[in-house]
Amino acid sequence: MPAKSQPDKTRGFLIPIGGAEDKIGATRILKRFVKLCGRRPTIAIIPTASRREDAGINYQELFSGFDAAATPILRFARREDCEDEAALATLKSCDGVFITGGNQLRLSTTIGGTSVARLLRRRNADGMPIAGTSAGAAIMPSHMIAGGEEGATPHAGMVSLAPGLGLVNKIMIDQHFRQRDRIGRLLTALALNPFAVALGIDEDTAAFIGPDNVLEVVGSSTVLVLDPSEVRHSSLAEAEHGEPVSITNVRLHILTPGMRYNINARSVEDIE
C-alpha cells in the first residue's frame, strides 16, 4: 500500500513511461521529469530490472545534460543489497528516482518487501517524484502485470499478476502497449481486479500522475484508460484456461498528449 502523506507534505509525482522514450530529440518526458525534481537535483537511478552491466549509464549522461547535479546508480543485484546503509542514505537524500526497464519480476523479487521498497513509498509520500520506464513503470502499482500473451481478445490465463511496489493502489499499468498488442491482457487483468483503473501506455509516452491523482499524457502517442467502475459481468471465474473471457460495461478512453484524466473521479478533464 502507498505510504500515508503527512499533513504538511504533498505527495510526489509518479511518472510511468511506456518504454522506448525519446533520448535524442526533444526528450520531453525525461526533461520534464528532471524539472519536477527541482533545481540541480540529485537523481538516483535503479537499473535492477536489466541484466546489462552498463544499464543506467545512458540515463546518467542524459540527466547530467539536463542539469542534474548528481546521478548515482544504485545496483541492487541481490535482496541483501537493499539493506545497504550507503544506498539507503542516497535514497533518503536524493531529489528523484528513475527505475529503468528490463524484467519487472527481477525488480519485484529483488526489491519487494525490503527497506528500499518501504523507503521509496515513504519518499514519494513526502513529495519525491519517481519515474520508471517499461518494467520500471509496471512495478509501480500494488498489482503488477508480471507477464502475459499478446492479442486483442481477453482469455483465461492470458496475464499473470504479482505484487508491485505499492506506490499507488488505484491503477494497473501495461507498457509498450500498442506496439506489442497488449489490450487483451490488460482487459484480462481488469477482469481479475475490477477495482483499479487500467492504463495501457504506448512507447515514448508517459502518464504524469500528480498528487491529486490527475494524470497528464506527455510524449508522442497515447494512453488507453480502462475504467471498471460500471462493470456488470465477467466470465473469468467460469472460463477454462485459454478460453475467451466476456466482460461488460467497461469504459474506455484514448488520451492523446496534453489530455488529462482524474483517477479519483474516473473522468476525463475538460478538453480545451
Tell me whether residue 53 is one of the annotated catalytic residues: no
- The CA distance from 166 to 123, in Å, is 13
Q: Distance (Å, rounded) from C-alpha 62 to C-alpha 80?
A: 29
234 catalytically annotated: no
Which of 50, 108, 134, 234 is flagged as catalytic? 134
Max CA pair span of the chain: 55
Q: Give the phi and the psi of residue 219 in degrees, each rounded to 5.
A: 130, -150
For the sheet with 197-201, list strands across it.
171-174, 197-201, 223-227, 251-255
Check if 203 is active-site.
yes
The burial class, CB within 10 Å (0-12 / 13-18 / 19+), for 235 is middle
Instruction: Identify the active-site residue in 50, 176, 216, 234.
Output: 176
Catalytic residue among 21, 203, 216, 234: 203
Best CA proximity match to 101, nearest among 48, 178, 33? 48
Contact assessment for residue 62 and residue 119, using Cβ atoms and an 8 Å cutoff: no
CB atoms within 10 A of CB 220: 16
Owner of C-alpha cell 504506448: 202
Positions annotated as catalytic residues are 134, 176, 203
